[in-house]
Amino acid sequence: MRCRPHVTLHKKYANGVFGANSPCGSFAPVGVTLYQLIKRIRFEQVTIHVAGIHIVPPVLLAPMAGITDLPFRKLVARFGAGLVVSEMIASQEMVQARRGTREKAELDGGAGLSAVQLAGRDPYWIAEAARMAEAMGARLIDINMGCPAKKVVGGLSGSALMREPDHALRLIEAVVGAVSVPVTLKTRLGWDANSLNAAVLAHRAQQAGVRMVTVHGRTRCQFYKGRADWSAIAPVVRMLDVPVVANGDVVTPRDARTALAQSGAAGVMIGRGAQGRPWQPALVAAALYGTPAPVVPRGAALADLVMAHHAGMLEFYGRDLGQRVARKHLGWYMDHAATPPALRREVLTAPDPATVHRLLPLALAERERFAA
């Protein structure tokens, strides 16, 4: 059997797939048929291995503050994202049960493979929050060292920790020592163009027990300006043995292919590209890896989906808060549907859920074609 040029396996997987005399490996698994070999290759191509957890497909939903709540994560997971991550949660506030904080980490069986992302500066609080998240059912604990928001950075958390790698390592060690589930890390390239230290920090994190690293291809000082530099993630990939995921400006299958080619990453993480398009991670995965393509809802089917999402948010938050929180999601759905401005405004200012649901079929039927 010959290696197909476009089939690339990580070195640690190839040896167990091909025979000793094959250019692709070093020992022959006895009794393995060609069909089994192809299945195994396919599995490795569409899987990120994080300790004993398999992320399939390697297209992940990014944590987004105020967005990746349980109703949205369930919806994205249902379409077929490999992993969904909670919005960033302040560790001390979670442990002290500040109102509305623990709800950000809420999980259930419908949310697929889920991670809870924690932020903080104190090793005690972040370790306690990690224990709590694990007890709530989180399959992975992600540590935020990439958030650029002034409020977070002002508290010397998020991407501010990239300026203090020794303290960052103390936080990582505290979390790894507190839980039995895999711990992952999310960073930026560095604080600014003069301190691109993601590779060094990630390598130290790996030595401390982190099992996967996601890198947003911008510095903190760039915020979300310009374009993410996926090629700048490549040094992190070369430095690590654990999987690296590329993040930043990945929206379409073309974006994902380019990000993977330039970075060498094991997968991609989609954030803003999923706003108003919860099927987008699954759509990207289908194009890249041949996983089942999602049925993109249109017309009445789209209206049904959005109404169900809206109803789920009302149930999760309560009627009044749910109405307010849902507006941004409704706005994104209507942006992609090119809803006329007057009708869009009417939906977003509707006084009650019944009016919203009465207007949505008309608002979302205005344009049947969605951007993929």
Residue 20, pLDDT score: 39
- Residue 156: pLDDT band with limits 50, 70, 90: confident
CATH class of 49-289: alpha beta
Strands (E), the chain: 48-50, 53-55, 59-61, 83-85, 89-90, 114-119, 140-145, 183-188, 212-216, 244-247, 267-270
Condensed to tens digits (0 to 9), the pLDDT of residues 280-298 reads 999 999 999 999 999 999 9
Residue 368, pLDDT score: 44
Condensed to tens digits (0 to 9), the pLDDT of residues 176-229 reads 999 999 999 999 999 999 999 999 999 999 999 999 999 999 999 998 999 999
Number of H helices, E strands in the chain: 15, 11
DSSP track, 179-225:
-SS-EEEEEES-SSTT---HHHHHHHHHHHT--EEEEESS-GGGTT-
Residue 150, pLDDT score: 87
For residues 355 and 40, the model is more confident at: 355
Q: Where are the domains of the chain?
A: 11-45, 49-289, 299-365
- Residue 364: pLDDT band with limits 50, 70, 90: very high
Find the largest Cα–Cα distance for the chain.
71
Residue 363: alpha-carbon gap to chain centroid: 29
Known binding-site residues for FMN equal: 63-65, 117, 186, 216, 271-272
Percentage of the chain beyond pLDDT 70 is 85
Q: How far apart are the first and last CA of the chain?
A: 37
Residue 18, pLDDT score: 34
Catalytic: 3? no
Q: Read off the pLDDT of each residue in 70-93 and give the average, rounded to a whole number.
A: 95
Residue 47, pLDDT score: 83
Q: Do residues 84 and 280 make contact, with C-beta atoms less than 8 angstroms apart?
A: no
- Residue 109: pLDDT band with limits 50, 70, 90: low
Q: Read off the pLDDT of each residue in 342-361 and give the average, rounded to a whole number.
A: 96
Q: Tokens 């040029």 appear where?
A: 5
| Options 3, 24, 147, 221, the catalytic residue | 147
Known binding-site residues equal: 63-65, 117, 186, 216, 271-272
Condensed to tens digits (0 to 9), the pLDDT of residues 7-23 reads 333 333 333 333 333 33
